[in-house]
C-alpha cells in the first residue's frame, strides 16, 4: 500500500481505542457479570429476559437517533466534535460500571444502555470520516486497516483480561468478580488514551451554523427525512441497506450472544475465553486481506464470500458439541474452530460494508447517509435475538434444554440468506469510481 493519506493512521487507531468497550462492555465481561453478579438474584428466565431486553433497548435507541445525528453533523460540519462528546460520555458510563453493586441489575441496565448508545452513536461520525482520510484507490484497504487494528487491540485486551482475572488476589482484588468489574475502568482508560491521535491529527473545517442546538436538531430531523426519500428513490442504495440490515444483524447477533451461547451449550469459561483469542488472532490478518482483495476484485464479491462463511458458522454452530474435533492429527475444541471461522470474516464484512457504502452514496452528503447506515449496522442486533427468542418459545423442551438454543443459532442463517439475496439485486456503484 502506498503512503497513507494524512490522518488515516490516527483515524484507524480509533478502531483500536474503542475496542476496549466492544470487548469488555459488549462481548465478554458485561454479559457474564450480568448473569452472575448484577442479575444474580433473578431466575434464569428473568435474567435472560432482562439481558436481551437491555440489548434490545440500546439497539432501538441507536436505531432512532442515528439518522438525526448524522444529519445534524452534516449540517454543522461538527462530526469530530460530536464523536468526542459521545465518546466521553461513553467512557464515563463504562468506568461507572465498576461502582454498581451486586444485584443492582436495573442500574446496570441503565448505565449499559447509556454507554452502548454513546459508543455506537460516536461510530456514526467515525465511519463517515473514512472519506476524509482515504482515496478511491485505497478506501477498502484503509477500512480494513481500521478493523485489523481493532482485532490487534482485542488480542491485547484479552491478555489483559486474563492477567487481571487470573492474578486478582496478587493485584489486591477481593475476588474475581471484583477484578472483572475493574476491567470496565481499564476499558474506559484505553478508550480515552488511544482517542488522542484522532483529536490531534484529524481536522475538518466546521460549517457556519447560526442556529441554536434545538433549531439545529429540528433542521437535522428534516434533513434526515429528505435523505430517507433520496434513499428510497435510489434503489441501488436502498437494496444495499436492506441487504446490510439482514446480514449485519446476523453478524451482530453472533457477536453479542457468543459467550452466552457457548456457556449454554456446555463449554467452560476458559474455552470461551480462548475462543475469543482465536477470533482476534484470525481477525488481524483476515481484515487486512479482505480490505486488499476488496480493493483488487471488488468489495461486493468479498462480502458474498463472508456471507457464505457466516452461513457455515450458523449451521455448524447449531450442531457443535463439547467433544473435541481432530484436525491435522491434533484435537481442538469445536468452539475454537467456530471462532476461527468467525474471525476470518467478521472484520472483513464490516470493513467492506463500510467502504462499499461510501462508494455508492453522494460524496457531498456522506455523514447524513451514514446516519442511516449506522441506524442499521450500529443498532447491535434486533432480528437475530428475536429469532432466538421465538425459537426459545416454540422449541422449549425440558428433556433437551439446549435444543431451542441450537435451533435459534441455526435460524440466524435466514438473515444471511436474505442478505445475500438482496445484495445480489444491488446494482453496481452510482457514485465514485470504486469497483463493485
Predicted confidence (pLDDT) per residue in 32-53, tens digit: 898 889 988 888 778 878 887 8
Question: What is the pTM (predicted TM-score) of this model?
Answer: 0.81
Specify whether the CB–CB gap between 343 and 241 falls below 8 A: no
Q: Nearest 5°: phi and psi at 2?
A: -70, 175
For 127-141, 214-228, 411-425, which range has the lowest pLDDT when averaged over its residues? Answer: 214-228
Task: Look at the block and give the residue holding cell 452528503.
Answer: 365
Residues 6+ apart with CB under 8 A from 177: 33, 36, 37, 102
When pLDDT is averaged across residues 197-221 and rounded to a whole number, the result is 71
Pairing of strands 325-327, 330-332: antiparallel
Give pLDDT, residue 416.
95
* Helix/strand/coil percent split, the chain, to 5: 75, 0, 20
Burial of 398 (0-12, 13-18, 19+ CB in 10 A): exposed
Give pLDDT, residue 216.
63
For the record, the C-alpha cell of 392 comes out as 426459545
* Long-range pairs for 406-410: beta carbons < 8 A, 24 or more residues apart: 406/265, 406/318, 406/319, 407/318, 409/261, 409/314, 409/317, 409/318, 410/314, 410/315, 410/317, 410/318
Give pLDDT, residue 213.
55
Give pLDDT, residue 364.
79
Using CA atoms, how far apart are residues 113 and 373, in angstroms rounded to an integer?
20
Domains of the chain: 8-424 (1.20.1250.20)
Using CA atoms, how far apart are residues 272 and 311, in angstroms rounded to an integer?
21
Per-residue pLDDT for 111 more than 50? yes
| Predicted confidence (pLDDT) per residue in 367-399, tens digit | 888 888 888 876 556 788 788 878 877 887 777
Residue 279 or 386, more confident: 279
Residues comprising the chain, all counted: 436
| Predicted confidence (pLDDT) per residue in 150-198, tens digit | 999 988 998 999 999 999 999 999 899 999 999 999 999 999 999 999 9
> Both ends of the chain: CA-CA distance in Å?
20
Model confidence at 1, pLDDT cuts 50, 70, 90, reads very low
Give pLDDT, residue 2.
58
Burial of 210 (0-12, 13-18, 19+ CB in 10 A): exposed
Give pLDDT, residue 378.
62
Per-residue pLDDT for 432 more than 80? no
Per the prediction, the chain carries an average pLDDT of 86
When pLDDT is averaged across residues 251-264 and rounded to a whole number, the result is 82
SS3 state of residue 327: strand
The conformational region for residue 103 under phi > 0 = left, psi -120 to 50 = alpha, else beta, is: left
Chain mean position to CA 394: 29
| Predicted confidence (pLDDT) per residue in 326-382, tens digit | 878 788 889 999 999 999 999 999 999 999 999 899 887 888 888 888 888 765 567
Amino acid at each position: 500500500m502506498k503512503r497513507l493519506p494524512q490522518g488515516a493512521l490516527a483515524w484507524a487507531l480509533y478502531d483500536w481505542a474503542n475496542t476496549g468497550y466492544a470487548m469488555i462492555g459488549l462481548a465478554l465481561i458485561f454479559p457474564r457479570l450480568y448473569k452472575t453478579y448484577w442479575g444474580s438474584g433473578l431466575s434464569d428466565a428473568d435474567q435472560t429476559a432482562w439481558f436481551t431486553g437491555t440489548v434490545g433497548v440500546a439497539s432501538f435507541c441507536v436505531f432512532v437517533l442515528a439518522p438525526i445525528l448524522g444529519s445534524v453533523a452534516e449540517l454543522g460540519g461538527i462530526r469530530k466534535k460530536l464523536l468526542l462528546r459521545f465518546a466521553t460520555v461513553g467512557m464515563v458510563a463504562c468506568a461507572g460500571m465498576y461502582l454498581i453493586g451486586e444485584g443492582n441489575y436495573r442500574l446496570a441496565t441503565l448505565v449499559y444502555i447509556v454507554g452502548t448508545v454513546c459508543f455506537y452513536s460516536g461510530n456514526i461520525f467515525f465511519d463517515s470520516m473514512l472519506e476524509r482520510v482515504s482515496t478511491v484507490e485505497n478506501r477498502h484497504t484503509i477500512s480494513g486497516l481500521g478493523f485489523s487494528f481493532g482485532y490487534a487491540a482485542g488480542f491485547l485486551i484479552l491478555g489483559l483480561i486474563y492477567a487481571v482475572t487470573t492474578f486478582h488476589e496478587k493485584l489486591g482484588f477481593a475476588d474475581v468478580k471484583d477484578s472483572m468489574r475493574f476491567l470496565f475502568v481499564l476499558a474506559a482508560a484505553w478508550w480515552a488514551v488511544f482517542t488522542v491521535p484522532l483529536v490531534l491529527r484529524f481536522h475538518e473545517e466546521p460549517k457556519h451554523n447560526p442556529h441554536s442546538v434545538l433549531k439545529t436538531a429540528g433542521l437535522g430531523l428534516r434533513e434526515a427525512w429528505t435523505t430517507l426519500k433520496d434513499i428510497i428513490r435510489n434503489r441501488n442504495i436502498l437494496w444495499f441497506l436492506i441487504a446490510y440490515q439482514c446480514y449485519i444483524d446476523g453478524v451482530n447477533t453472533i457477536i453479542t450472544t457468543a459467550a452466552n451461547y457457548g456457556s449454554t451449550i456446555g463449554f467452560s469459561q476458559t474455552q470461551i475465553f480462548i475462543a475469543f483469542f482465536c477470533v482476534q488472532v484470525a481477525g488481524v490478518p483476515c481484515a487486512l486481506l479482505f480490505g486488499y482483495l476488496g480493493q483488487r476484485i471488488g468489495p461486493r464479491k468479498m462480502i458474498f464470500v463472508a456471507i457464505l462463511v457466516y452461513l457455515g458458522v450458523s449451521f455448524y454452530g447449531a450442531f457443535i458439541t463439547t467433544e473435541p474435533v481432530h484436525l491435522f492429527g491434533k484435537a481442538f475444541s469445536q468452539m475454537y474452530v467456530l471462532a476461527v471461522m468467525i474471525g476470518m470474516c467478521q472484520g472483513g464484512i464490516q470493513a467492506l460494508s463500510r467502504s462499499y457504502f461510501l462508494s455508492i452514496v453522494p460524496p457531498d452528503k456522506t455523514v447524513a447517509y451514514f446516519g442511516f447506515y449506522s441506524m442499521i449496522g450500529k443498532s447491535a442486533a434486533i432480528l437475530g435475538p428475536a429469532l432466538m427468542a421465538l425459537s426459545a418459545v416454540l422449541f422449549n423442551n425440558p428433556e433437551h434444554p439446549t435444543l431451542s438454543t441450537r435451533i435459534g443459532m441455526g435460524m440466524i442463517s435466514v438473515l444471511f440468506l436474505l442478505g445475500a439475496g438482496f445484495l445480489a439485486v444491488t446494482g453496481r456503484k452510482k457514485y465514485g469510481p470504486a469497483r463493485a
